[in-house]
Chain A
Amino acid sequence: MLPLVLRRIMATIPVMGVVALTVFALLHLTPGDPAQLIAGDYATPQDIAKIRTTLGLDKPLLTQAGIWLSNVLRGDLGTSIYSGLPVTTLIAQRVGPTVALTLLAMVISVALAVPLGVLAAWRQGSWIDRVIMIASVSGFSMPVFWLGFLLVWVFSIWLGALPVQGYQPLAEGPWQFLRHLVLPAATLSLIYMALIARMTRASMLGVLGEDYVRTAFAKGLPPRRVLLGHALKAASLPVVTIIGVGFALLIGGAVVTESVFALPGIGRLTVDAIVRRDYPVIQGVILIVSGVYVLLNLVVDMLYVFLDPRIRY
């Protein structure tokens, strides 16, 4: 397995390189001039030109790409055109809320969705199955921002039980940390709950029809043991894939949820940077996120080995 892991890690580098160059090209093809935005409305063309020179934006594109790539290879993702802070600092400031939100949303999703999916599969065709499936369709049909505002109205404004917005780091107290994350995590988790429940149900239905499962029931094993001990493990591969993909997508930032709840996460950092044409930040974030995405896929592939003993790399 180790050679596979090393090969996959090495393969990440050209993938990230292609992503980086593609994003660089797309950014510079998009209309917009960060020098103008930075200078403000009443700057003169001469001021704007000087800013462009200071930021290196007047150099040929290939030169700019070369400079950026050579810096990246030295571990330097550059500095924000606006704030002058290193891109790594900006990402480090934002990664905490994003990881916290992602983890909590996925924990809620998996903890609720997998049992519901198993239950729906076991009671296929019954009212339980139908209720769970209707709820899951509703879940991923609801717009995230609408759901977020609805939860804010109920729990923050009407009941006054939870905060409207903001993020408290764990270091400032676990209770406030959780209070600020519950609503955004619940908002995000509904979609993933719906997806995971449906995938679990579909996968379980395939496995529950297998001979060995029928044999297990025939031998008198309790249903819980058959479902959770035998069937779920075999059905878990596609579910783990969905969870992994969901995790990777969330790490890239859930910008709508972050905006609704004013969470300072990677999603908002990226969107703010795009709106302002803060090229180093956009490039840096996408590079990091693409690397994380590839590595998470590797982790999911490794998990297959533990879940399915037939899989060997």
Chain B
Amino acid sequence: MSAMHRRAFLAGTAATAAMAAAAPYVHAQKKGGTLKFVPHADLKILDPVWTTAYITRNHGYMIYDMLFAPDADIRMQPQMVDKYTASADKRKWSFTLRDGLKWHDGQPVTAEDCVLSIKRFAARDAVGQLMAKSLGKLAPTDKKTFVLELETPFGLVLESLGKASASPCVIMPARVAATDPNEQIKDFTGSGPYKFVKDEWQPGNKVIYVANKDYVPRKETPSGGAGAKRVFVDRVEWHYIPDQATAAAALEAGEVDFWENPPIDFVPRLEKNTGLVVFATDPKGNLGTVRPNSLHPPFNNKKARQALLYMVNQQEYLQAVIGNPKYGRPCPSIFICGGPFETAGGAPKQDLEKAKRLLKESGYDGRPIVILDPTDSPFAHAPALVTAESLKKIGGVVDIQAMDWSTMVARRAKKEPPAQGGWNIFHTWTTAFDIVNPAVNAFINSSGDKAWFGWPSSEPMEKLRTEWVREPDAAKQKKLAEQIQLLAYDEVPHVSWGQFIAPSAFRKNVQGVLQFGATILWNIQV
């Protein structure tokens, strides 16, 4: 990245961070009113454990609470937990809940609720399943305390209990958490800062939440998802506005207060409006990826995947996809820049001649490389076009196939050869929380058939990831993460095309917006 662009990106995030640091936690609170919020998608599924959809995760944050939560530095802080202990070998844990925690129906939150909620989460979530494999005992000892004992080492106990995305470990009443993990819950009682008003829910139109007056927030200053979750508004309305020009007009006209993710090309106009604030609610942002299919030629050959690595110039992709240097920057770390496992080790610079040579050495026979191109998704469509052109420069023959996102989601699951309905490359992106460490990072999961779409297979990678998951020492985890990155740049299960921020926009009367990797709407005044 050029020094000028890096400065612009850092200046942009520093300015927004400064604004956040100055204003989020206001002592003289203005109470009441309704926050009208435009979410990035329509909320249709209400069970954040059953699905990994981000919109459902955000809904979960509204009505549920969590045992732990990551702060602004992605360090786990107690949330529902008052105190906890861990044995020296980190195999025996005890957690005691805070006083005053109640469900929306007025019943107290108990340790039993927590135990069943953790079990349901662990049955569905990938990291939860890793924890479940090591688990020996998970049981309440009294109404407010439960113990967790591991049969084998597992270094991510707090990270699992405070997992922020894509399925967070939210706590539900025992009767609800007892729902079969393969079925959606039907009771939306939570203990979080807001209550869901199901009778007013209209899928495709609006979702209504009201303040939970009985919520007892922590006393600490809010930081990321941790700290005090104070609610100052009476009501939050999510208005799903499918057309982006309409959403922009509604924000400018004051009909809505907060737009979660305006398209990047709308941002300059919103920035010029003196009644609005454009703000990076998630300063760590997202990582875009080029995902090759490791099952079929040419990318079943490591050299062909390495060719992709030397082909990609993140600056070019960011220019095409994001355009504005304030909101995008190259990032050499597969665990996102700004995260706790950020490392630049092994990251190559673009070298088209080397890429060409590697593709040839892989035995590439000139067959068309099928690229899935979902034209309705800007963060997947634009990179597809750049990849197509770049592949041609290194001698690849390209078959770029346009489709909608839904079709791509179905197509990428096919393991058939590309000529029989399969694929060679697709593009996607993910938030920082979902790649921040080797356990959650689905892109480097190299368990072959059990891996994420693309199905890379690498025993050394899986060995390192298992070692990392079992390692409770933070310094050793960091070293292992560096080794994993070096191996990832050799095996190339995917290639990152850059780190970018999708800013939010809100009216100036909206105060107290917090920065976090998921959208959170407490602490806000209107």
Chain A residues at the B interface, C-beta cutoff of 8 Å: 31-33, 36-45, 47-48, 50-51, 54, 80, 82-85, 90, 93-94, 149, 152-153, 156-157, 160, 163-166, 259-262, 264, 268-269, 272, 275-277
Contact = CB atoms under 8 A, between A and B. Distances in A.
B105 interface: no
B242 A51 contact: no
B406 interface: yes
The list of the 9 closest CB pairs from A to B, nearest first, reads A40-B52, A264-B205, A82-B44, A33-B410, A42-B52, A40-B53, A262-B241, A50-B182, A164-B249
Contact of B166 (A42, A44, A90): A42
19 contacts: A31-B411, A32-B406, A32-B409, A38-B53, A40-B51, A40-B53, A41-B166, A41-B430, A41-B442, A47-B124, A51-B182, A83-B44, A90-B203, A93-B202, A149-B245, A156-B253, A163-B253, A166-B255, A272-B42
A306 B126 CA distance: 68
Contacts of B27: none
A264 B204 contact: yes
Contacts of B450: 44-45
B409 A33 contact: yes
Contacts of B242: 259, 262, 268, 272
A275 B202 contact: no
Given A93-B202, A268-B242, A275-B404, A84 B184 contact: yes
Contacts of B411: 31
A277 B406 contact: yes
A164 to B, nearest CB: 5
Nearest to A97: B205
A250 B98 CA distance: 56
A183 B397 CA distance: 50
Given A54-B183, A157-B252, 11 more contacts: A31-B403, A31-B411, A36-B410, A39-B52, A42-B126, A45-B450, A84-B184, A149-B245, A166-B250, A260-B246, A264-B205
B239 interface: yes
Contacts of A39: 51-52
A292 to B, nearest CB: 20
A272 B253 contact: no
Interface in B14-43: 42
Interface string B402-439: 01101101110100000000000000101000100000
A239 to B, nearest CB: 33
Contacts of B452: 42
Given A85-B203, A163-B255, A264-B204, A33 B413 contact: yes
A31 B410 contact: yes
Nearest to A84: B184
Nearest to A152: B249
A276 B43 CA distance: 12
Interface residues of B, number: 48
Interface of B: 42, 44-46, 51-53, 56, 124, 126, 166-167, 182-184, 186, 202-206, 239-243, 245-247, 249-250, 252-253, 255, 403-404, 406-407, 409-411, 413, 428, 430, 434, 442, 450, 452
B8 to A, nearest CB: 30
A63 B334 CA distance: 46
B72 to A, nearest CB: 24
B404 to A, nearest CB: 7
Contacts of A84: 184, 186
A269 B204 contact: yes
A33 B186 CA distance: 23
Contacts of A276: 44, 406
B410 A157 contact: no
Contacts of B404: 275
Nearest to A51: B182
Nearest to B434: A42
Given A82-B45, A259-B243, A43 B204 contact: no
Contact of A264 (B53, B202, B247, B249): B202
B166 A262 contact: no
Given A44-B126, A47-B124, A165-B241, A80 B253 contact: no
A125 to B, nearest CB: 42
A54 B182 contact: yes
A81 to B, nearest CB: 9
A85 B46 CA distance: 11
Given A32-B410, A277-B406, A83 B203 contact: yes
Contacts of B407: 31-32
A41 B406 CA distance: 11
Contact of A165 (B51, B186, B255, B442): B255
Nearest to B406: A32
A264 B183 CA distance: 28
Contacts of B249: 152-153, 156-157, 164-165
Nearest to A46: B450
A260 B247 CA distance: 9
Nearest to A149: B245
Name the residue in B56, B186, B202, B206 with the highest tally of chain A Cβ atoms < 10 Å from its Cβ.
B202
Nearest to B55: A40
A38 B403 CA distance: 19
A160 B51 contact: no
A93 B245 CA distance: 25
Given A40-B52, A40-B166, A42-B166, A262 B410 contact: no
Nearest to A274: B406
Contacts of A42: 52, 126, 166-167, 434, 442, 452
Contacts of B413: 33, 36, 45, 48
Contacts of A38: 45, 51, 53
Contacts of B252: 157
Contacts of A268: 204, 242
Nearest to A273: B204
A33 B51 CA distance: 15
A93 B207 CA distance: 13
Contacts of B247: 262
Contacts of A269: 204
A277 B308 CA distance: 33
A38 B410 CA distance: 11
Nearest to B51: A40
Contacts of B202: 93, 264
A160 B253 CA distance: 8
Contacts of B184: 84
A152 B252 CA distance: 12
B203 A80 contact: yes
